[in-house]
Structure 1
Amino acid sequence: MSMISARWSRRALVAAISMGWVVAAQAEPPAQQQEQAPGWFRMMVGEYEVTALYDGHTTLDTSLLKGMEREEILRHLDALFIDAENGMQTAVNAFLIHTGDNLVLVDAGSAACFGPTLGQVEQNLRASGYVPEEVDTILMTHLHPDHVCGLADENGDAVYPNAELRASQGDADFWLDEERSQALPEDQRAFFTMAQEAVAPYQESGRFSPFEPGDELLMGIVAQDTHGHTPGHASFMLHSDEDAMLVWGDVVHSYGVQFADPSVAIEFDSDPEQAIRTREAVLESAVADKHWVAGAHMPFPGIGHIVEDTEGYRWLPIEFGPISSDSE
């Protein structure tokens, strides 16, 4: 190597070191980061601020879906790139509504009732800028554990100490009836026990009151009868200005299957035939009225529109964007 070429080689090495190229090549790569961002998403429905709160996810076996052969179920899910051979991932969402006068929580998540992949509603509510003490009203779509357990902490105290708890009279009569639950075999009491323990601190402080379908629970928020999944399952229609949203609870569990064929039920339905009739009516109405939908078991944030498809219906999820009611 000539003296000139050696000099340029040294200069190139010095330059590479000064710019970090050589150091970067020799350094260990950074560790992969395994944590997600806090699970909340915010939008406006007219003048109402709606914040989706992610409770977490669980995995359901496809055998829980009733009315369709497994091969057909897997075909529908595979078309959406959902590998369900070992179960289908299902989100659990709650929704926080700021009306301007009230801070309303719809459903409370599952707390510790279903393991470590769930139970994040409270921490995501805090991450979104609010604290549990500010919630003044809690509306329950129904009293299944993945919606109700988050009402109370591990000591049995109310997580939302200043909130009035509202649930449908139909669900209250069914799930909070101790005589009914005690008459069941012990292995069938779990859902009843979890509902009763979660609601207890609100009952004891005089902050629990049932509602009936059609009741206007707060200005612009009306309870709708969507029973079938449970005896008193309810959904909540929000109206503000010219905008509207239906928070529909558990009308749909598997968007990959039940939009294509609404006649598919799920094992957890109290009255499968009525749950199917309810789902068909709600989907038809959502298409006709073009209102927003917020679903407890839709992929987070669980908010979108429903349109007709060549095979049943199709889910159009909201896009991330400005917090405004014209984000469609």
Structure 2
Amino acid sequence: MRFHRLFFDRVVAAAALFSSAMPLTTEVAPPATSPRVAQARAQAPGVYRYRLGDFHVTALSDGSVPQELHELLRGTSPAEVDKMLHHAFLSNPVEASITAFLIDTGSRLILVDTGAGGLFGPGYGGKLLGSLKVAGYEPEQIDDILLTHIHTDHSGGLVNEGNRVFPHATVHVGGPDLDFFLNPSNQGGVNGYDKKYFEEAVKTVGPYVKAGKVRAFTRETQLFPGIKAIPTPGHTPGHGFYRVESRGESITFIGDIVHVAAVQFPKTAITIVYDVSPKDAAAQRETQFAAAALNRSLIAAPHLPYPGIGHIRAEARGYTFVPVDYRDRYQP
């Protein structure tokens, strides 16, 4: 108490001295203004256009979600994960983009994946239709949808309250995913793989199956001129890539071959709980990263930082993702 009393006495004395030295005045000091506070604002809809030969590719943001990597990653430790995140100027949890891609061939409008729709709840995904509108398109214009696989953050945008969002679109997807996720006997879950994946598959892909608007592929298949489906099982049984080529240029949409760039590029053996077959997913990642690095292929992935388009470079150990140069100008 003695310290507090001494401090108080000195403040009072200083105030008395200050007031006695001030001239008398009738002016009133202006009222103190409240400090300005930065106002939260939502991001503008994500639209990024990329020219590929005669085609236009548009990355459409569906939003982003935080990922608690200590709980999700397998074949590693929290300490190892934190070390790699620190190297990449990140910390756990890490924000993951959810990106869909629109291909305008001039004769068809083709969507690669559809984001999460409303299945993750308010504030987590569900921005695809807004991004699509900003890009100048409506859901009714979409001719085809290429699903890299049947997981909620890729097929969730197919429906809204049980109705097809893209009424004229045909869905293309790997046959083994249809057989696995829509099999009635699997709806309770399989070998510890949670039943929610199967229930959500029925909700999202089911209406298109009933409408006769689903086409499956089981091998490398030329879907349209310049667009090829390539099975890459591991993450899911029917996971697939889509390679798009026009006038000597190409891009490959690689789906969920990678979830966390800062971790899985340097160490391809690290898997995630979403993998149906972790061993096969890790092997597929190493194989495909090596091929893309060797061929200097352009790739696009939905969970890499938006817009998720770039190249894979081989390092002494592991790989690095190199984003494409940003362009903000008219490209006819």
TM-score tier, shorter chain, comes to: 0.7 to 0.9
Alignment counterpart, residue 291 of structure 1, candidates 297, 300, 308: 297
**After superposition, where does 1:303-314 map in structure 2 within 5 Å?**
303-314=309-320
Listed as ranges, the matches of 1:141-220 within 5 Å are 141-154=148-161, 156-182=162-188, 188-220=194-226
Query: How far apart, CA to CA, are the structure 2 residues paired with 1:233 and 1:297?
Result: 15
Look at both structures and tell me which one has the larger radius of gyration over its CA atoms. Answer: 2
Name the CA shift for 1:186/1:254 in 2 (closer, same or farther; >3 Å). closer
Query: What is the percent sequence identity of the aligned residues?
Result: 35
| 2:117 equivalent among 108, 111, 115 | 111
Amino acid at match of 1:206: G
Higher RCO (CA < 8 A, seq sep 6+): 1
Unaligned stretches of 5+ residues in structure 1: 1-25
Q: Note the alpha carbon deviations across 1:77-121, whole angstroms, 9 max, x for none.
A: 11111011xx22111111110111110001111111112221111
Q: Which amino acid aligns with 1:140?
A: L
Who is 1:36 aligned against? 43
| Alignment-mate amino acid for residue 91 of structure 2 | D
Quick check: 1:125 aligned with 2:132? yes
For the 8 Å contact 1:45–1:324, the answer to whether it is kept is no
- The number of equivalent residue pairs is 298
The letter for the 1-side match of 2:153 is D
User: What code does the residue aligned with 1:61 have?
Assistant: E
User: Which deviates more, 44-53 or 306-315?
Assistant: 306-315
For each residue in 1:262-303, what CA deviation from the matched residue of structure 2 results, as whole angstroms up to 9, or x when unmatched?
111111111111111110111111111112110011000011
Q: Which residue of 2 aligns with 1:100?
A: 106
Deviation of 1:139 (Å) = 0.7
Q: Which residue of 2 aligns with 1:231?
A: 237
Aligned to 1:65: 73
Deviations 1:225-262 (A, max 9, x none): 21100011001011111111110000000100010011
Contact kept? 2:252, 2:298, Cα under 8 Å: yes
* Secondary structure of 1:250 counterpart: helix
Residue identity matched to 1:259: F
- Does the CA contact (< 8 Å) of 1:119 and 1:150 recur in 2? yes
> 1:184, CA displacement in angstroms?
5.8
Q: Report the counterpart of residue 82 of structure 2 in structure 1.
A: 74
Maintained 8 Å contact 1:43/1:323: no
Aligned to 2:63: 56
The AA in structure 2 aligned to 1:134 is Q
**Residues 270-289 of structure 1 mapped to structure 2, 5 A cutoff:** 270-289=276-295
Encode CA deviations 1:19-76: one digit per residue, 9 max, x unaligned. Answer: xxxxxxx998585351212111110111111011111111222231111221111111
Work out the CA distance in 1 between the residues paired with 2:39 and 2:119: 30
Name the counterpart of 2:16. none
Between 1:307-316 and 1:215-224, the stretch displaced more is 307-316
Look up the equivalent residue of 1:43 and give its one-letter code. Answer: Y
Cα contact 1:212–1:223 (8 A) shared by 2: no
> What is the SS of the residue equivalent to 2:254?
strand
Q: Paired residue for 2:52, among 41, 45, 49?
A: 45
Return the letter of the residue paired with 2:149.
H
Kindly indicate whether the alpha-carbon contact (under 8 Å) linking 1:287 and 1:306 is maintained by their aligned counterparts in 2.
yes
Query: Residue 319 in 1 paired to residue 325 in 2?
Result: yes
Partner of residue 271, structure 2? 265
| Counterpart-to-counterpart distance in 2, 1:108 and 1:51 | 13
